[in-house]
A and B are shown apart, each in its own frame.
Chain A
């Protein structure tokens, strides 16, 4: 991969990759380290994929693995009940922070699963590859993750689907 190809690939992937890492991690403090490391690992591959359709899942896979490593290393910190740092901007910040907090109450893997499935629109095969889970388990894990999010939404009084 030459510099021009990398810069093009970077422009196409940085925004969705960064949003995924920030939302799944629940803050920007470590997110940019993980995003940078993701691109560095891609560039250090002997033959990185050039096709954008293959490149994007590849980047999400590397980032997912790095996040899992991060959670393993910082397990004791998250058990100490750290509050996620708000990362939302815009007009209705209070509502956005409320949504963030709710999302952060989910397990890390549930956040990854839900983001990849509902925001990235990834197929079960792509999610399985990104998270290193057997494809046959994805359907069940997604179903449970949705159930947990629905339960949280109902607890917070958003069960009927309204958000404002």
Chain B
């Protein structure tokens, strides 16, 4: 019983003190500009939307780059013994094209705002 009374006493005392603290004016810098926040949010939403719509393309391109690399290396491994120059040249072209595609894919990915 005593604990309950003490608890209620604490509650009202804390309530008064907290309201007094809340009433103290705050020294604050200028508040954030809502128009700027709106604009930033719209830009972020557009970026989210763009990333969502281009995700399948980016996944497909990554798969293509992977397949081209595997194909190039396989060609070099299997045809290297019979026609080494042609095989190495084809493999180098394939791997080079894959590297360029991967680099272009990375360069196009939008950075964080």
Which residues of A does B touch, CB under 8 Å? Answer: 3, 6-7, 10-11, 14, 18-19, 22-23, 28, 32, 35-36, 39-40, 43-44, 86-90, 96, 99-100, 103, 114-115, 118-119, 143, 146-147, 149-150, 153, 158, 161, 163
Query: Interface size for chain B: under 10, 10 to 19, 20 to 34, or 35 or more residues?
Result: 20 to 34
B14 neighbours in A (Cβ, 8 Å): 114, 118, 146, 149-150
Contact partner, A146, options B11, B26, B38, Cβ 8 Å = B11
Residues 26 to 69 of chain B near chain A (Cβ within 8 Å): 26-29, 31-32, 34-35, 37-38, 40-42, 44-45, 48
Which residues of B does A touch, CB under 8 Å? Answer: 7, 10-11, 13-22, 24-29, 31-32, 34-35, 37-38, 40-42, 44-45, 48
A53-B32 Cα distance, complex, nearest whole Å: 23
A96 neighbours in B (Cβ, 8 Å): 24
Q: Is the CB of B26 within 8 A of A22?
A: yes
Q: Is the CB of A150 within 8 A of B10?
A: yes
Q: Is the CB of A153 within 8 A of B13?
A: yes
> Shortest CB–CB separation between residue A129 and chain B, in angstroms?
20
A49-B15 Cα distance, complex, nearest whole Å: 30
- Given A28-B28, A28-B29, A87-B28, A40-B37 contact (CB < 8 Å): yes
Q: Is the CB of B31 within 8 A of A146?
A: no
A43-B7 Cα distance, complex, nearest whole Å: 41
Q: Is the CB of B32 within 8 A of A89?
A: no
Q: Is the CB of B37 within 8 A of A44?
A: no
Q: Is the CB of A18 within 8 A of B13?
A: no
Contact partner, B20, options A36, A39, A143, A163, Cβ 8 Å = A163
> Shortest CB–CB separation between residue B1 and chain A, in angstroms?
16
B26 neighbours in A (Cβ, 8 Å): 18-19, 22, 28, 87-89
